[in-house]
Amino acid sequence: MNLNLTQKEKTLLEDQKNHEQICIEKYKSYANQAQDPHLSKLFQTYATQEQQHLNTINQMLAGNVPNMQQQSQQNQQAQQTQQYQNNPQRQYSPTSMQDMSLCADLLMSEKFVSSAYNTAIFEFTDTNARQALNHIQKEEQQHGEGLFNYMQSQGMYNPQ
């Protein structure tokens, strides 16, 4: 489907493109820095999903609305692998403090990126483009939830 973008929509997509590139870089870098192998795998999974988001944004900038069904099926499978058990009594070692810092930074990034998508969604005139951006935003929120769940399970985050 052909997409005719307004200048404002192009600007918003360029902003989101930059956000996605930064997220990809962070997740890849942090996957190499994480001490917990489960956390490293989580970061690698999210880096792959962020790359899919970037591909979607690039397709939209080229004037095409991508098919979100295929991406949704791939990402649902990845989300199913992210289950953690709660361990609120965990003692922090220097390595877990490093992992906590990585998670906190990424959680903050996901909150920002999700908020930016919210603004973009309301500015787009094309319904299919809005749906594509909404799909990405939902996945960004799932990344935040996955980070939150990991942090909570490791005693790194107490929402009380």
- State pLDDT tens for residues 130-144: 999 999 999 999 999
How many CB atoms sit inside 10 A of residue 145's CB? 14
With contact defined as beta carbons under 8 Å apart, do 82 and 42 qualify?
A: yes
With contact defined as beta carbons under 8 Å apart, do 78 and 143 qualify?
A: no
Please compute, for residue 68, the number of CA atoms within 13 A of its CA located in the half-sphere on the CB side.
16
The CATH number linked to 54 is 1.20.1260.10
With contact defined as beta carbons under 8 Å apart, do 32 and 95 qualify?
A: no
How many CB atoms sit inside 10 A of residue 40's CB? 17
Residue 58 lies in a domain: yes
Residue 42 lies in a domain: yes
Number of domains in the chain: 1
Residue 2 lies in a domain: no
Residue 149 lies in a domain: yes
Residue 43 pLDDT more than 50?
Answer: yes
Any residues with CB less than 8 A from the CB of 87 and at least 6 apart, and which? 153, 154, 155
Residue 130 lies in a domain: yes
Euclidean distance between CA atoms 1 and 151, whole angstroms: 41
Structure tokens at 37: 């192998």
Domain that holds residue 147: 7-153
Q: Which region, left, alpha or beta, applies to residue 155 given φ > 0 means left and ψ of -120 to 50 means alpha?
A: left
Residue 135 lies in a domain: yes
Q: Per-residue pLDDT tens for 110-123?
A: 999 999 999 999 99
Residue 131 lies in a domain: yes
Give the pTM.
0.84
